[in-house]
Structures are given as structure tokens and as C-alpha cells.
Amino acid sequence: MLRFIARRLAGMLAVLFAVSVLTFLIFAVIPDGAPEDRMAGPTASPGEVAAVRREWGFDKPLYVQYARTMTKIFTGDVVSYVDRTNVVEEIGRGAPRTFSLAIGAAILWVAGGIALGLFGAARAGRATDRLITVLALIGVSMPVFWLGALASHYLGFEAGIFPDGGYAEIGRHGLLEWLWHLVLPWSVLAVVLIGVYSRVLRSNLLDALHADYVRTARAKGLSEGAVLRRHALPNALIPIVTLWGLDFGAVLGGGAVLTESVFDLQGVGQYFADSVGRLDVPPVLAVTMLGTFFIVAVNTIVDIAYAALDPRIRL
């Protein structure tokens, strides 16, 4: 078991390294003129520009630049090309917002998905089941940015039921304000995934309900409800848990960027989008690494959990 975990972790590090190199290369190969000009700013003297060039290694080969930039990221010293703010601090500021968004939405979509999936399986084949399926499909087809912009405008801006964007820090504005600002983003992000989860659970449940061991349980006289609760549901939920882990990792790793931008939450995803537009490499690199870390970490945890449950997988 320990060896399995060690191998997984090693793999994780390898992937992180590869991703960082890839991201760096994407921006390194853009002929952008000298980034040191932009870093030093329009009001810098030639001496300052030269100093920046030396410090970041822009006059050295690519691998030196990569090494220097990565060192700066890990020592927390890295600053933006454009306005010299500390990238790690900015990420630290945006992280609670992205976390708030991701965690809240994740809870919402898994709870909603399970509820709807249960309902659909229980009423399989009837009108309500079909309705749920249709709604689920529509939800899956919605672009998050469109739905978000509509919700933010009509429910926020026009109707005033919710604020039309922005994020309220718990420390400064209190729990209620924080919640109120997040209800719409949570809902919008969750709508898309509730559809997916409800359908997966429903189909898993239906499969489980037709399985042999369930038939045995029924034959033994167990009620339908008990069958559902004690046998079908737990088995149907296992793949949901893995799926949820993967999706949560994905949202944390960058899927939140659209929702953040539309609702102006100023989280890490939005920071990324703004930085990319300005060809500001250090934040892009740092956020990508962070996002990848989350995705890979969650994947690894899921893998390890599965291996712990099923020894055959470790081979």
C-alpha cells in the first residue's frame, strides 16, 4: 500500500513538473519583444530595464529563465510583469473566494444531483422522471457564462433580489452578506452539474436495483425502501463520490474562471484570466501550477482511496 502511495505521489510530482514546463513554454515562445521593457514599466530608465533583464534571466537561455521563475514562485518572491505586485499575495487574496465558490457549489450540485437522481429512479419511466431528464439535459447544455450573466443581470441588477456581482468578505461584512453574494454563483455553477449527477445516479441506481444481490434481498422480504437505502444506494453512490472528487478538483483548478469573471468575484480564476490577457507570465504560471496541483491531488486521493478499498487496483 505504501509503495502504491509513493508511486502515485511521484507521478503527481512528475505531472506538475511537466505542466509547469509546458505553461512556461507556451508563453516563452511568443515573440513579445522584451518582457523586461514591460516589467520595468514605461517610466523606467535603461539601467532599471537592464537590471530587470539580469534578475529574471531574460538574456539567458530558456531553462535558466524557467529555473529562476520557478525559484521565485516557490520562495514567494515572484512579482507580476505588469504592476510589480506580489503574485503569491494576490493568489492568497483570491483563494478564499475561489474556495468559497467551489465548495459551496460542490455541496449544492452533489446534494441536488443525488436528490433528483433518487427521485428519478424511484419514478422511473413516468412523466416526472421524463421531466427531470429533460431539465437535467437542458441544465447540462447551458453555458455557465451565459446563465451567469443573465442571472446576475435580471435577478441582481434589475430585480435587486441578489447583489449583481462582487464578493463580500465574511470578516468585513458578516456571514449573511457573504452568503447572499454567493447564492447566485453557486446556483449557476451547480445547475450544469446537477444535471450530470442526477442522470448518473439514476442510471447507477437502476442498474443496482436490477442486480442479483438486490433480488436476493427482495426475495428475503426486505421492503423496497429498505432495499433502496441499504443496498442499491450505497453501491450507486461510490462512482458518484469519485466523480465528485474529480469535478471538484476541476472546478478548483480553473473551471471556476467563467463564474468568477461573470460575477466579478475576484478569485484566483479571474486573476488568471486578467493576467493572461496582459501576457503577464508569473501569475499565469503560478495559478496554473496551483490549479494542476488541485486536480492531480484530488485524482491521487481518489486513486488511493479506491486502492485502499480494492486491493486488485494496486497492481
Partner 1 sequence: MHWTLRGPACALVASIAVGLAACGEREQNNSGEIRAAVTSFPDSLDPALAYTGEALQALWVVYTPLLSYAHAEGVAGTQIVPGLARALPKISADGKTYRLRLRKGLKYSDGRAVKASDFEHSVKRILNLESADTSYFERIVGAGAYLQSGRVRGDISGIETDDRTGAITISLEEPYGSFSNVLAMTFGAVVPGDTPFENQTKRPPPGVGAYKLANVRVNRGFELVKAAGFDVGDMPRARLDTISIEVVKNRGRQTQSVIRNELDYMTDPPAPDQLRSVRDRFAGKRYREFVTNSTYFFFLNHRLQPFSKKAVRQAVNYALDERALVRVFGGLLEPSCNFLPPRLAGYEKIEPCTYGDPDAPPDLGRARQLVKQAGAEGEEVTVYGTEEPEAKGAAEYFADVLSQIGLKGSPRIIPAANYYATIGNRKTRAQAGFANYFQDFARATTFFSIVDGAAIADTNSTNFGNIDDPQIDAALARADRNPRAAAVAKDYAAVDRRLLEEAHLVPYGHRELSVFFSDRIDFDECTAWHPVYNLDYTSLCLK
Partner 2 sequence: MDEARHALEPATGDDPWRLALRRLRANRVAIGFGALFAVLLALSLAAPLWAHVAGTTPSRNHLADTIVIDGQRRDVVTEDRVPIGPTWRAKYFLGADGNGRDVAVRLLYGARNSLFIGITATLISVLLAVMLGLLAGYLRGWVDAVVSRALDVVWAFPVLLLGIALGVALARDGLRLGPLSISGGSKWIPTLIIGVVGAVYLARPLRGLVLSLREQDFVEAARAQGAGPLRIMLGELLPNLASTILVFVPLLVANAILLEGALSFLGAGVRPPDPSWGTMIGDGVALLTSAPHLMIVPGVMLVATVLALNVLGDGVRAALDPRAKVRVGR
Which region among 16-24, 114-122, 159-167, 246-254 touches partner 1 (by CB under 8 A)? 159-167
303: contact with partner 1 by CB under 8 A? no
Using CA atoms, how far apart are residues 282 and 69, in angstroms rounded to an integer? Answer: 7
Residue 102 binds to partner 2 (criterion: CB under 8 A): no
| Contact status, residue 192 vs residue 140, Cβ threshold 8 Å | yes
> Are 73 and 282 spatial neighbours (Cβ–Cβ below 8 Å)?
yes
CA distances from 218 to 46, 212, 231 (A): 83, 10, 10
The answer to the question of residue 168 lying near partner 1 (CB under 8 A) is: no
Q: State the nearest-atom distance from the C-beta of 110 to partner 1, in Å.
A: 31
44 binds, among partner 2, partner 1, none (CB under 5 to 8 A by kind): partner 1
Q: Is 247 in the site for partner 1 (CB under 8 A)?
A: no
Q: From 103, 266, 107, 259, select the one nearest 188 (Cα to Cα).
A: 259
- Interface region with partner 1, contact rule CB under 8 A, candidates 33-41, 99-107, 243-251, 300-308: 33-41
Please choose which of partner 1, partner 2, none residue 120 contacts, taking the beta carbon within 5 to 8 angstroms, the exact cut-off set by kind. Answer: none
CA dist list (Å): 304 to 12, 40, 291: 12, 46, 20
Q: CA-to-CA distance for 10 and 24, rounded, in angstroms? A: 21
**Which listed residue (21, 44, 237, 240) binds partner 1 by CB under 8 A?**
44
Assess 198 for contact with partner 2 (CB under 8 A). no
Q: Which stretches of the chain bind partner 1, using CB under 8 A?
A: 33, 37-38, 42-45, 82-83, 85, 157, 164-166, 264, 277-279
